[in-house]
Amino acid sequence: MALTTKWFGLLSNNRTSVTLSQTLALVVLLLSGTSVAGYLLELDALYRPIANGPATNPLTAVVGVLLAICLFSSIKKQPLLVMLCAYISLLLVSIRIVDVLFFTNNAKLLTLFIHDYTFEDQQGQTNIMGLNTALMLEAVAIATLCRLYRFRIASQLLSFSALSIPMTAITGYAYGVPSLFGEMSFITTTLGIILSLSALLANANQGIVRVLLSSHIASRVARAQMVGSYLFAFILGLLVVQSFMHSPIKSLISAFVVAVSWFVIALIGIGVLIQDRADRKRRLTERKQRQSENKDLLTQLLSRAAFSRKLQTAVTRQRRYQHALCFLVIDIDHFAIFNQKLGRQTGNELLKRIAKTLKTNCRETDILCRYGSEEFALLIEVKTPNGALVLAEKLRAAIEALQIEGVTETYGAVTVSIGCATLSNAISAETALSNAEKAMHNAKCSGRNQVVAYEAYS
């Protein structure tokens, strides 16, 4: 089970799925090429595997080659080749569909080896591209064009639709019901299944295919349900059909089994897609919640709780490598007055501007957080305690130089008081942070708009 899950997980990787899609395209190229070789070498078994049964028409083989080239080629590197082969395939198959609908015979004029299969028709052997084959190839061709033009969900739906046709033919061969496979030979049936799977895997990183190949429990259950329901319906249908071996109702039962199987598969697929979307919304909500716990929503700095968690990691690193760590606690002077006179909205804008200024003047390795309503805390790694004072003075000056509309022109410069404290092996991080707070309060008591080190007055 674990190995199967890992295998499906690899398939959901875009590069792996594209590689497998190209491999399947090569198999289609081989099967189509084998049929063409059968006509060249006059070996009936290469394009008509069942004696007196349906044959793979030359036009089917040619379109198979073209679509295999489409799926094997890279859309990014060879878009013109993909487009050309897809449109030619679409044109050839569309001509055949028009022939079926309007009882014309234009496709024969475009087909290689026309004398070979015209002779076979005269002998009563079926050798035409049936409507089921034409619809299957048409769906794959349009799916390829949808992938080229980035309509990936539409491409997947068309590929699923194409896959249902040869799978129905397989059921017809298993049940011995010619009406289910019509003029589709066993080689064409096999080619169609591989071709449709190749088209599906080319878009495996999106939509329902991505969901079904996922390693999530819901996806694993859905895969098991699809396979189980199809096998159950197939085997049950086979048993029932055997009991109506010579009855005209045999075809109806077979068609009913096929319809029920694909209806259940579609229902399971839609269900798991809906569940996946709900799970993605839930995971997105949880991620946003975790982010809100880690970040202060107003300033987008670390929250106090997240700062405490990062603090523990930094202290462990400091103890191990003997780095010098310093705390800065920064408090906005007279912030309550700004809030009272200018309103909370202006106060919030003031907080955001100061937070942005602090972040701009800090290094990426520094740990900055919103510590209180108008307080910020900063943990920095320095070579000497004096380096912390230099940075603190730089931050104080940068904030004092801010020009804030609606504030500085009326009330003067916004200033901050900063306290510094060094973390040593002799004291804990909590004590060092508390010392920085004490230094900050001392700075405020000493006239504000200044930097005070804890060691300077302790």
Residue 402 CB partners (closer than 8 Å, separation 6+): 353, 354, 357, 408, 413, 414
Residue 140 CB partners (closer than 8 Å, separation 6+): 67, 158, 159, 162, 195, 196, 199
- Quick check: 444 pLDDT over 90? yes
Same domain, 450 and 432: yes
Q: How far is CA 415 from the centre of its chain?
A: 48
Q: Does 5 map to a domain?
A: no
- Quick check: 163 pLDDT over 60? yes
What is the Cα–Cα distance from 455 to 272, expressed in whole angstroms?
Answer: 63
What's residue 369's pLDDT?
94
- What do you get for the CA distance between the two ends of the chain, in Å? 65
Q: Does 3 map to a domain?
A: no
Same domain, 179 and 198: yes
What is the Cα–Cα distance from 97 to 60, expressed in whole angstroms?
Answer: 12
Residue 407: band (very low, low, confident or very high) from pLDDT cuts 50, 70, 90: confident
With pLDDT > 90 as the criterion, what percentage of the chain qualifies? 36
E-strand stretches of 60-203:
none
Which CA distances in Å does 452 have to 165, 389, 427? Answer: 80, 8, 19
What's residue 296's pLDDT?
86
Same domain, 196 and 270: no
Domain with 283 in it: 216-293
Q: Report which secondary-structure segment, H or E, holds 86.
A: helix 79-102
Same domain, 273 and 328: no
Q: Does 2 map to a domain?
A: no
Counting the structural domains of the chain, the total is 3
Q: Which of 3-12, 153-162, 276-285, 336-345 has the highest mean pLDDT?
A: 153-162
Residue 123 class from Cβ within 10 Å (0-12 exposed, 13-18 middle, 19+ buried)?
exposed
With pLDDT > 70 as the criterion, what percentage of the chain qualifies? 91
What's residue 396's pLDDT?
94
Domain endpoint, select from 159, 193, 212: 212
Domain endpoint, select from 265, 293, 321: 293
Q: Cβ distance 389 to 420 under 8 Å?
A: yes
Which CATH number belongs to the domain containing residue 425 in this structure? 3.30.70.270
Q: Does 150 map to a domain?
A: yes
Looking at the DSSP bridge assignments, the partners of residue 330 are: 376, 418
What is the Cα–Cα distance from 330 to 22, expressed in whole angstroms?
Answer: 60
- Quick check: 133 pLDDT over 90? yes
What's residue 417's pLDDT?
96
Per-residue pLDDT, averaged over 336-361, amounts to 89
Q: Does 299 map to a domain?
A: no
What is the Cα–Cα distance from 360 to 76, expressed in whole angstroms?
Answer: 40
Q: Which DSSP state fits 108?
A: G
| Residue range 360-399, pLDDT digits in tens | 999 888 999 999 889 999 999 887 778 889 999 999 999 9
What's residue 119's pLDDT?
52
Residue 141 CB partners (closer than 8 Å, separation 6+): 63, 67, 70, 86, 89, 90, 93
Domain endpoint, select from 293, 321, 350: 293
Same domain, 245 and 182: no
- Number of Cβ atoms within 10 Å of the Cβ of 330: 25
Which amino acid does the sequence have at 281? Answer: K
Residue 208 class from Cβ within 10 Å (0-12 exposed, 13-18 middle, 19+ buried)?
buried
Which amino acid does the sequence have at 69? Answer: I
Which amino acid does the sequence have at 322? Answer: Q
- Quick check: 2 pLDDT over 60? no
Residue 13: band (very low, low, confident or very high) from pLDDT cuts 50, 70, 90: low
What's residue 117's pLDDT?
54
Same domain, 432 and 346: yes
Per-residue pLDDT, averaged over 288-305, amounts to 81
What is the Cα–Cα distance from 85 to 202, expressed in whole angstroms?
Answer: 16
What is the Cα–Cα distance from 197 to 202, expressed in whole angstroms?
Answer: 9
Tokens of 7: 């295998």
- Quick check: 3 pLDDT over 70? no
Same domain, 167 and 227: no
| Residue range 247-262, pLDDT digits in tens | 677 788 788 888 888 8
Same domain, 326 and 254: no
- Number of Cβ atoms within 10 Å of the Cβ of 403: 10
- Number of Cβ atoms within 10 Å of the Cβ of 133: 31
Residues in the chain: 458
What's residue 225's pLDDT?
85
H helices of 361-451, where? Answer: 385-400, 408-411, 429-445
207 torsion bin: left (phi>0), alpha (psi -120 to 50), beta (else): left
Same domain, 181 and 255: no
Same domain, 244 and 329: no
| Residue range 342-352, pLDDT digits in tens | 888 888 899 99
Pairing between β-strand 416-423 and β-strand 367-370 as defined by DSSP bridges? unpaired
Same domain, 197 and 243: no
- Range name among 152-161, 215-224, 337-346, 432-441 with the lowest pLDDT average: 215-224
Q: Does 199 map to a domain?
A: yes
| Residue range 85-109, pLDDT digits in tens | 999 999 999 999 998 898 888 877 7
What is the Cα–Cα distance from 220 to 231, expressed in whole angstroms?
Answer: 17
What's residue 292's pLDDT?
63
Per-residue pLDDT, averaged over 157-171, amounts to 92
Tell me what the pLDDT averaged over the chain comes to: 84
Residue 1: band (very low, low, confident or very high) from pLDDT cuts 50, 70, 90: very low
Same domain, 450 and 313: yes
Give the DSSP letter string of 118-130: HHHHHTT---S--
